[in-house]
Structure 1
Amino acid sequence: MAASMYRLVYYSRNHIAHDQALFASNIQKILEKSRINNQRDEITGALLFNAGCFAQVLEGPLDKVEAAFERIQQDERHGDVSLLALDPISRRSFPNWAMGFIGTSDIQAKRFAGIGASTGFDPSRLSGDEIHALLRDLAIEEEAA
């Protein structure tokens, strides 16, 4: 019998040095390791970085998603890690993304400007559903490009 699927949504504060090269290197390391772990653990999802915060959606078997979240909480590059949602799901929103990274294109930057105006892109002011919808819509745009 297949394991039940869950979606976990969280945000955290960036604790990576603000040096651009160091930041880019750390993000690349996070993505490479996440993609390896997530493929192994049958987890899909997307990661957003903007304005000093990370927001992420993880989808997969409950035990694997919880283990990934525990690793994130222990990672010194993340601070003030806050769980926004952990819910059962019937299907994945990111079936093709072992870990997509959103937040670097000009189109995405413009989209975040509107979010920033209303929320200051303070993920603590967004619900898990709002972050999930934002990342899902951006992933669809990214795949269409």
Structure 2
Amino acid sequence: MTVRLCYASQRNRLHPDLLEDLQDILSIARDFNQLNQIYGVLYYADNAFFQCLEGEQEIVENLFERIKKDARHEDIIHLGTQVIDKIYFKKWSMKYVQQNSTVNHFFKTIGHDVFRPNYLTHENLNHFLHELVTAEQVKIRTRKKVGLTNRGISPFL
């Protein structure tokens, strides 16, 4: 049986490097999901995560149990699991969407000035998922280590 599981969480602020956390989450998710025919989306803004996972029920539920133990997440809220006929995120093993004006506008229409995924309801969750399906996927830039030469400092001085 194919299901869609959505959850929201707060980012654990004890993890100081957000970019590293996002890169790790996406890299691991994409590898695992591709092997297990799981599809989905990750959205991050205002210190909050929203994730939707689609695939075989047992695999998705086991994955969610592992996510609940991940120290990068706090205050995880299961927004729901539903049996589905159509996979929304079939193009992506894990699409990443970062904060954007369309999502900001959506949350303003439901009465919130900032991204608060824990306030999503069954009534507006599908509309939010549609916003994420149509949103542009973002590639996270890796930070390059900068040596003395690349900072314009001569190592011979």
Q: Name the TM-score, length of structure 1 as normaliser.
A: 0.83
Percent identity of the aligned residues? 30
Maintained 8 Å contact 2:4/2:83: yes
Maintained 8 Å contact 2:88/2:133: no
User: What does 1:24-35 align with in structure 2 at a 5 Å threshold?
Assistant: 24-35=19-30
Maintained 8 Å contact 1:115/1:121: no
Unaligned runs of 5+ in 2: 138-157
SS in 1 for 2:124: helix
**More helix per residue:** 1
Task: Please provide the CA RMSD for this pair.
Answer: 1.9
In structure 1, the residue matched to 2:118 is 124
Task: Spell out structure 1 runs of 4+ moving beyond 4 A.
Answer: 16-19
Provide the rounded CA distance (Å) in 1 between the counterparts of 2:102 and 2:82. Answer: 26
Provide the rounded CA distance (Å) in 2 between the counterparts of 1:55 and 1:131. Answer: 11
User: What does 1:1-145 align with in structure 2 at a 5 Å threshold?
Assistant: 4-17=1-14, 19=16, 22-104=17-99, 108=100, 110-117=101-108, 118-119=111-112, 120-128=114-122, 130-142=124-136
Maintained 8 Å contact 1:10/1:84: yes
Instruction: State the 1:17 CA deviation.
Output: 4.7
1:116 and 1:133, CA in 2 relative to 1: closer, same or farther beyond 3 A?
closer
Q: Name the TM-score, length of structure 2 as normaliser.
A: 0.77
Instruction: State the 1:49 CA deviation.
Output: 0.5
Provide the rounded CA distance (Å) in 2 between the counterparts of 1:112 and 1:17. Answer: 27
Provide the rounded CA distance (Å) in 1 between the counterparts of 2:49 and 2:35. Answer: 23
Maintained 8 Å contact 1:15/1:77: yes
SS in 1 for 2:7: strand
The number of aligned residues is: 134
1:141 and 1:122, CA in 2 relative to 1: closer, same or farther beyond 3 A?
closer
Maintained 8 Å contact 2:15/2:72: no
Unaligned runs of 5+ in 1: none
